[in-house]
A and B are shown apart, each in its own frame.
Chain A
Amino acid sequence: NAGVTQTPKFRVLKTGQSMTLLCAQDMNHEYMYWYRQDPGMGLRLIHYSVGEGTTAKGEVPDGYNVSRLKKQNFLLGLESAAPSQTSVYFCASSYPPPRDRSYGYTFGSGTRLTVV
């Protein structure tokens, strides 16, 4: 089925470890996003990309890096994980505006990350 696929689905990290979350979409969307979801905080944008080879900071970018080497993939990296990064991470993709208004954002099912 077409959509957004996130890997892994669950991960436990020790403080200071690094990891990469992978997001892949097969809808030929130009825009991709990484959000984190925490209780009572809603969805907060970490980084986003408006096209292959481009990335930009969102609302809460500190401690994260991203790369978009291929149009269909958007990687989120944690170089030195901290307990404050314990969260559920969602990747999303969309058409560029204004077409994104007709179709909305397509979200993946999330990655639940725990940093101990």
Chain B
Amino acid sequence: DTGVSQDPRHKITKRGQNVTFRCDPISEHNRLYWYRQTLGQGPEFLTYFQNEAQLEKSRLLSDRFSAERPKGSFSTLEIQRTEQGDSAMYLCASSLGSFSGNTIYFGEGSWLTVV
């Protein structure tokens, strides 16, 4: 069973370094989402793609954040010049369909610690 896969699962980096997370969605899912979750909070939306098109970006996604989904399959989320406030779990999710009510499935998340 191939669910949503995220890599790496854990990352510790020094402040100022760049980090990149990868997400492989469920096969044939054309929608892919990125969320961020900090301790004690619910997941917060960052951005989502339909195929390779990035359709929406949250205000949380500052200029230091960039997400891509070049061929409409896997996606990467890069954080440049990391800050301690970027420490969080980054969640990827995918779903099938466009503006319908399809179930959204989440990966196991990538934990980022900025020291």
A and B form one complex: no
| Residue positions of A touching B, CB distance < 8 A | none
